[in-house]
Structure 1
Amino acid sequence: MRIALAQILSGTDPAANLQLVREYTARAADAGATLVVFPEATMCRFGVPLAPIAEPVDGPWGDGVRRIASDSGLTVIAGMFTPSGDGRVRNTLIAAGPGSPNQPDAHYDKIHLYDAFGFTESRTVAAGREPVVITVDGVTVGLTVCYDIRFPALYTELARRGAQLVTACASWGSGPGKLEQWTLLARARALDSMSYIAAVGQADPGEALGGSGAPTGVGGSLVASPFGEVVASAGAHPDLVVTDIDVDRVADARESIAVLRNRSDFARADRAESIG
């Protein structure tokens, strides 16, 4: 399977960002990819009010992504914001495939919110609850967003639901050691889930947005194999990374390393029963 990671630099205009999706998807199609993955906050970067930007997943921006997928013959995964109904938004991935109707046609709402490193995502974003897997060209793909990558249980759950490839779409916060953590976490989640990880982030905006306090990207998009190897990677600037993945290696990893099969339940301190 040939996949593409579109490491873009989103602005604050959803229409201009949708045009970026169209341009990078066309490049991915020309390169022979069947799946192109965009970052979290593709619709609009962080650091501005999101409620006025948010649209339903079947609104104009989401429909624009669906048209791009249909026109290109690719499956497109991209980050957007949808209304939550309580004044906040949801941090959503839309996944749209080719065809009419689009197949797949799904979305995932980010489960783990980024209340860390001095940023409080939960003030303006409501959490999702349900893991999501889709099928692209016969390959089962799990969907995750940014801070999710710090929570191994989500990745092993997606693997139990059949995921062979998991996308981690991010707008990673900058700071000392953060890029190294991003790379390490992607490789670790690949080993946890015995899956390929397609970790695609926003490009690094540099000093222009570095003082906003919002997570606006550090670049460093990468694909990690189920054995934890870095298969392909990007630098700091906008880029399209195209690489082939061999999903047979997922079965090989799960048979040889076998951490999914060898998992064991154990007593937790808050649930343990006294035996004394």
Structure 2
Amino acid sequence: MTDRAAPGTTAGVVRVTVAQVAVTADHAANRQTAVDAFEVAVRAEADLLVLPEYASAYDPHGVGPEHAEPLDGPFVTLLRARSREHGIAVIAGVTLPGTDGVRAVNALVVVDGAGEIAGAYRKVHLYDAFGYRESDRLEPGPADAEPVTLQLGGLNFGVLTCYDLRFPESARRVVDAGADVLVYPAAWVAGPLKAEHWRTLLQARAIENTAVVLGVGMTGERVTGRTLLAGPDGVIGLELGDEQAFRTVEVDPAALAAVRRTNPSLANRRYTVVPSQA
């Protein structure tokens, strides 16, 4: 799993452009940021573009229904048009209207290279920790919803969001649904030890699931950035700082398969994951 490999070098390899960008409360400006990210992905001959959590709109003091847009709203419509135009799939954080009219939903939209919505993951674990209460503004997604995955080349990409990273059973459930690559768009809040937690947990999710793990962070006020790619053996193939940056990486299904042959821990396990009814 390497950074900036040359295009077209290996059959089945998937090229992923990561956009570690700042997001604001200005919806129009955020759409332009997405357009700029697509232009980078086109130049890199990428198969997939990943934007951070809350890519449609972000307020460092909290995001709620004032920033919600439906799946047929301006942001997702733009993503679909650009994906269709360039043949590049995209995963991006969006804020959707909630069901109670009071709160919104923190979600990821997954759009395939034909511009069709392949799925929308609604964040299960809300960030009620470290002095924050995401649940005051947002409602959680259903714990028993089917995992959202996207097939690209020889790999299956599964999605989770930010605080979900702290719950290993969530990752295992997505891997059980066939994911080879776990993608975590995030607005990882800065603070004591937070960057260390981010790095350690991404590596842990990779090693325990023998999966490629890609955490794509937002940069800017109160967040850490620090986009990271960990291979199924835990080896870090890409790690950014807190600056705005675009990078393109290659994910090789042959390398993933080799690690899983050497370390068959998924086959050796004796427990399953069942969603909580609480």
Q: Does TM-score exceed 0.5, indicating one fold?
A: yes
Native 8 Å contact 2:122 2:140 kept in 1: yes
Larger mean CA deviation between 148-157 and 249-258 belongs to 249-258
Of the candidates 232, 240, 243, which is equivalent to residue 234 of structure 1? 240
Corresponding position: 1:89 with 2:92: no
Taking the aligned partners of 1:94 and 1:49, their CA distance within structure 2 comes to 17
Of the candidates 169, 175, 179, which is equivalent to residue 153 of structure 1? 169
Corresponding position: 1:17 with 2:21: no
Of the candidates 64, 72, 82, which is equivalent to residue 58 of structure 1? 72
Q: Tell me the equivalent position of 1:225.
A: 231
Native 8 Å contact 2:62 2:134 kept in 1: no
Taking the aligned partners of 1:251 and 1:239, their CA distance within structure 2 comes to 30
Aligned ranges 1:130-169 → 2 under 5 Å: 130=145, 131-169=147-185
Native 8 Å contact 1:233 1:241 kept in 2: no
TM-score by length of 1: 0.88
Aligned ranges 1:248-259 → 2 under 5 Å: 248-259=254-265
Native 8 Å contact 1:191 1:228 kept in 2: yes
Native 8 Å contact 2:228 2:240 kept in 1: yes
Taking the aligned partners of 1:127 and 1:156, their CA distance within structure 2 comes to 19
| 3-state SS, counterpart of residue 168 of structure 1 | strand
Give the aligned length. 254
Of the candidates 248, 252, 268, which is equivalent to residue 262 of structure 1? 268
Per-residue deviation, residues 76-105 of structure 1 (Å, max 9, x unmatched): 111110011111111011111222xx2453
User: How far is the alpha carbon of 1:25 from its aligned partner?
Assistant: 1.3
User: How far is the alpha carbon of 1:257 from its aligned partner?
Assistant: 1.5
| Counterpart residue type for residue 53 of structure 1 | H
Taking the aligned partners of 1:33 and 1:196, their CA distance within structure 2 comes to 17
Of the candidates 171, 180, 187, which is equivalent to residue 171 of structure 1? 187
Q: Tell me the equivalent position of 1:105.
A: 118
Q: Tell me the equivalent position of 2:133.
A: 120
Q: 1:25 to 1:158 in 2, by over 3 A?
A: same
Q: 1:255 to 1:65 in 2, by over 3 A?
A: same
| 3-state SS, counterpart of residue 94 of structure 1 | strand
Q: Tell me the equivalent position of 2:91.
A: 77
Taking the aligned partners of 1:234 and 1:177, their CA distance within structure 2 comes to 17
Larger mean CA deviation between 127-136 and 228-237 belongs to 127-136
Q: Tell me the equivalent position of 1:31.
A: 44
| 3-state SS, counterpart of residue 115 of structure 1 | coil
Q: Tell me the equivalent position of 1:202.
A: 218
Q: Tell me the equivalent position of 2:6.
A: none
Q: Tell me the equivalent position of 1:213.
A: none
| 3-state SS, counterpart of residue 66 of structure 2 | coil
Taking the aligned partners of 1:49 and 1:221, their CA distance within structure 2 comes to 21
Q: Tell me the equivalent position of 1:42.
A: 55
User: How far is the alpha carbon of 1:49 from its aligned partner?
Assistant: 4.9
| 3-state SS, counterpart of residue 108 of structure 2 | strand
Taking the aligned partners of 1:253 and 1:6, their CA distance within structure 2 comes to 27
TM-score by length of 2: 0.87
Higher relative CO (Cα under 8 Å, sequence separation at least 6) belongs to 2
